[in-house]
Structures are given as C-alpha cells and as structure tokens.
Amino acid sequence: MASRRAERPNILFILSDDQGAWALACGGNPEIRTPNLDRLAQNGIRFDNFFCTSPVCSPARASLLTGDIPSRHGVHDWIRVGSVGETRVDYLAGQTLVTDVLAANGYRCGLVGKWHLGASDVPRPNFVKWFAHQSGMGPYYGAPMIDHDRPITVDGYLSDALSDVARNFIRDEAKRDEPFWLSLCFTAPHYPWIDCHPKAFTDLYRDCAFRSCPDEPPHPWFTGGKPAIEKGHKERRESLVGYFAAVSAMDAAIGRVLGELDAQGLTESTLVVFMSDNGMNLGHHGIWGKGNGTRPQNMYDTSVKVPCIASQPQRIPAGRVSDTLVSGYDVFPTLLDYVGVTHAPARRKPGRSFKAVLEGVDAGVDAPIVVYDEYGPVRMVRTRDWKYVHRYPDGPHELFDLRADPGERANRIDDANASATVTSLRTKLEDWFGVYVDPLRDGVDKGVTGCGQLGLVARATPSQPMFADSHLVGADWDLWVATGNGKAP
C-alpha cells in the first residue's frame, strides 16, 4: 500500500508560485498566516538560505527537475509559446528528469497543477497521473486544465481543486505496493490578486498593516506595461490582501493533503518537501515582480531566495532551522540520495546532495558556502557575506556587503576598498559557469529579456529570436485581471 518503508519513502513535492521566503509565518513574517506550513516546519527542517537557480518560474522549475542550470537545460525565461495545441514545444525533450530516474526505480509519478515547461497537453513519459495547467498562469476560478490529455475547465477555486485531485491520487496510490512521487504545483500566490480569492481568506487581512511589504518609490529599473503588475503597484492594499489570501488559502489546501497522508497511514513513510519556484517583490526595493520586475533583470534576495521545508518524522529530526546555502540545482541529487537511488549522469552536474543536513548528521560536512544564479545575461555569485551580480556584456554590475547591508541598498562595485572582493567573486563566477554551461544554450548572448521564451533556444536565428522583447498589453494572461475574468464569486 504505497511505500510503508521510511528508507524508501514516497515523495510529496509541493511547489508554490512566486512566493518569497519572507511570505511565511515560520520564516519570520508575523503578518501572514500559514499554520499548516508552520506545523510542517516544526515537524521537520526549514532552510533559511535556499535559492532558486533563476528568479522566474520556468527556468527555476526546469532546474529542479533536471539538476542543471538554465544555460545547460535551455529554459531561460517563462514559457510564452508552446504550451498546448499544434504549436506545442517540449522544452525538456531528450533530457533526464528526476521523475524519469525514480520511475525507472519503481516509483509511480503524478503531476497535479502547474507544469509551464511546454507541451502541457501531452502527459509526460513515466507519469501515471497528469492534471496540468494549460499554460501556467491564469484565473483562480474557471482555470483551464488538462486532465490526462483532455482540456477541461475547473469549477470552483483552483487551489482547492488541486488539493482534491492530490488527495484522490494519494488515496488511490495507498492501495498499491509501489512508492509514489507526487508533484503538487500550485499557481498560488501568482497574480491575479484583487478579488480573486475566497472571502474567508481575504477577510484575514482586511486590517493588516502590511509592514512586511515596504511601500517604496518605484525602482529606477522597474518595468510596467503589464496590467496585473500595474494594478499591483497602483492598487497596493487590495493587491497585498489578495497575495496574502492566496498564500493562506494554499496553506489550507496543503493542510488537507497532509491530512490525507495521515488518514492513509503514510506520514512516516513519505518525504514532504515544500518550496517555491522563485521569490517575489511586493514593493520590496520598489519592485512589483521578481527577477523580471526590472530591466535589466535583478538578483535581489527577495527575488532569488525562496522558502524550503522538508519533513519525514521517521528520518528528519524535528524543529530545526538550517542556514546552509542551498540551491535548486541541489534538489535532484538530494532526492535521489535520500531515497537510495543511484544515478550516474552522462556529464557532471552542479548540485550536491544535502541529505546529511536533512537527517541532522551534517556535523563536519563540507557544506556549500557559495550559490550561483542566472537569468539570461545576468549572473550572480553569493556567499554568506557578499553578493556579486554581473551583467553581460557591459553591466551595470553590483556588489553587496550582506553582513553590513543585508537589505542590498549600497552597491559597492566602484568602492576601491572592495576591488579585491570583486575580482575574487568574478573569477569564481566565470570559472563555475565555464564548467556547467552548454555553449549552444548559453544565456548570456541569446537576448533574454524577461518578457517570455518563444521556442527552443538552440533553434534561434538572427531572423527568428526565441525571446520576446516586450510584454503584450492585453495578452490573455493579463486580461484575467484587466477584464475581471476569473474573480471570486
């Protein structure tokens, strides 16, 4: 009946959408209400320094699945073209995913929710359950989904519907002998925000001061032009109510899924991992958005740092917080190591397993002290004390002293006293990316703008670029807010 063995557990991998590390009560935010995620953290481990590999959804998600950086797997921006129909593009075609390795080792894999890596309307190989969002973003009521290979429209609130499908999957898998992997990928708390979430959750925040979301003047590089983001910036309070409500409604939905594990007697034999794809700024640094909330793209911690919690009572000691620097590219080797699956990739991957940290035996372990990030022509190297951001070809570059300036306010790139630090970090960055980049998929010269990916990067030509240069005001994914479609009843 699914896995009952702690050493070969089922895996429930829960992913939120656009949730900054700051947007979690147990992460230190006294304003937001996340009781189920707080309880999950109390029963396991929470990471204070977990970083996405790219501060936008599709490349970050591709890295979680492949263990590679965007300049290796080739997904550099959010997928704008190729999700469904005759124009579908499988952006991960020919690549080995963590689910492929698990399936080859007896796991039954399911996806419930956001995919947003192309070809959403074709069930991925090795998945016995495929309930995917048709695009990756959109309305919370009347959401367009794919049930196996059949387009449907979801009745009711999407986070609740995803929870129901996930619970049914767990119930069905509990009758079988094989272990399961379930990707439960919410669209929450991605916009739309205003009037799009159940009243029971928006009412929680009617009197909230929202001190955790600074009301600052627009950043000099802030990009507008998208109705949803414009609404967020101009209608700040109602947008914040919606964002916080989306997080709390998702938390309640997660609680019901965790309750199903309990009801089926699977809690002790299931590894539960919760994280987000990328961070989010809701006024932080004067930005509404994530890495592509500015142009050129940014690498602020609010964009690249995400929540991460892991729990399995039989194996992960409870009530711990780790300050180890961990990246999304570490997830692939960690999960395989944790469940005892051996995998020899065809080439060297950048991640390392943090299984020892999960199990509380990390004393003396040579833990990573550096993480790397990229978004097209923008690359970052971060240590505990410093962050260096390099923008190809000509800058502007940034250097932040994170000990003295954790809010990343003072760019010290031109400080003569910090020149040795700049040189050292730049060398680290160039050497590291030199090892892991595929020249055909290198993002520094492909024209990545933050406005969406249009096709496989390896097929780009001067006359047919694979990245959009502007946002389409009035595109479907913006009209859900601009026209009021998909709002709460």
CA 304 – CA 327 distance, rounded (Å): 10
- Tens-digit pLDDT profile for residues 142-174: 999 999 999 999 999 999 999 999 999 999 999
pLDDT for res 480: 45
pLDDT, mean over the chain: 93
Residue among 213, 241, 393 nearest 302 (CA): 213
Q: Where are the domains of the chain?
A: 10-367+473-482, 371-449
pLDDT confidence band for 472 (50 / 70 / 90): low
Instruction: Report the range of poorest mean pLDDT among 100-104, 235-239, 290-294, 480-484.
Output: 480-484
Residue 310: partners with Cβ closer than 8 Å, 6 or more residues away: 44, 45, 47, 271, 272, 273, 274, 316, 358
Residue 331 scores a pLDDT above 80 = yes
pLDDT confidence band for 364 (50 / 70 / 90): very low
Q: Looking at domain 371-449, which CATH architecture does it have?
A: 2-Layer Sandwich (3.30)
pLDDT for res 6: 81
Q: Provide the terminal-to-terminal Cα distance of the chain, rounded to the nearest Å.
A: 40
DSSP-assigned beta bridge partners for residue 112: 131, 184
Amino acid 340 reads: G
pLDDT for res 482: 44
pLDDT for res 395: 96
Instruction: Report the range of poorest mean pLDDT among 57-61, 161-165, 445-449, 470-474.
Output: 470-474
Tokens of 218: 């627009």
Place of tokens 């995620």: 37
363-382 burial, b if ≥16 CB within 10 A, otherwise e?
eeeeebeebbbbbbbbbbbb
Across the range 387-414, mean pLDDT stands at: 97
Q: What size, in residues, is the chain? A: 489
CA 186 – CA 140 distance, rounded (Å): 10
Residue 110 scores a pLDDT above 60 = yes
Residue 137 scores a pLDDT above 90 = no
Residue 366 scores a pLDDT above 60 = no
pLDDT confidence band for 93 (50 / 70 / 90): very high
CA 138 – CA 486 distance, rounded (Å): 8
Residue 2 scores a pLDDT above 80 = no
pLDDT confidence band for 359 (50 / 70 / 90): very high
Residue 475 scores a pLDDT above 60 = no
Across the range 4-12, mean pLDDT stands at: 91
pLDDT for res 47: 97
The answer to whether 187 and 158 are in contact (CB under 8 A) is yes
pLDDT confidence band for 428 (50 / 70 / 90): very high
pLDDT confidence band for 329 (50 / 70 / 90): very high
Residue 77 scores a pLDDT above 90 = yes
pLDDT confidence band for 4 (50 / 70 / 90): confident
How far are the Cα atoms of 223, 314, 317, 318, 365 from residue 356, in angstroms, in the given order? 42, 15, 11, 14, 8
Residue 488 scores a pLDDT above 80 = no
DSSP-assigned beta bridge partners for residue 464: 461
Across the range 74-98, mean pLDDT stands at: 96
Residue 379 scores a pLDDT above 90 = yes
**From the candidate CATH numbers 3.40.720.10, 3.40.50.1370, 3.40.50.300, 3.40.50.970, the one assigned to the domain spanning 10-367+473-482:** 3.40.720.10
Across the range 284-312, mean pLDDT stands at: 96
pLDDT confidence band for 226 (50 / 70 / 90): low
pLDDT for res 89: 96
pLDDT for res 368: 61
pLDDT for res 479: 44
Instruction: Report the range of poorest mean pLDDT among 75-89, 145-159, 349-363.
Output: 349-363
pLDDT for res 477: 46
CA 37 – CA 236 distance, rounded (Å): 26
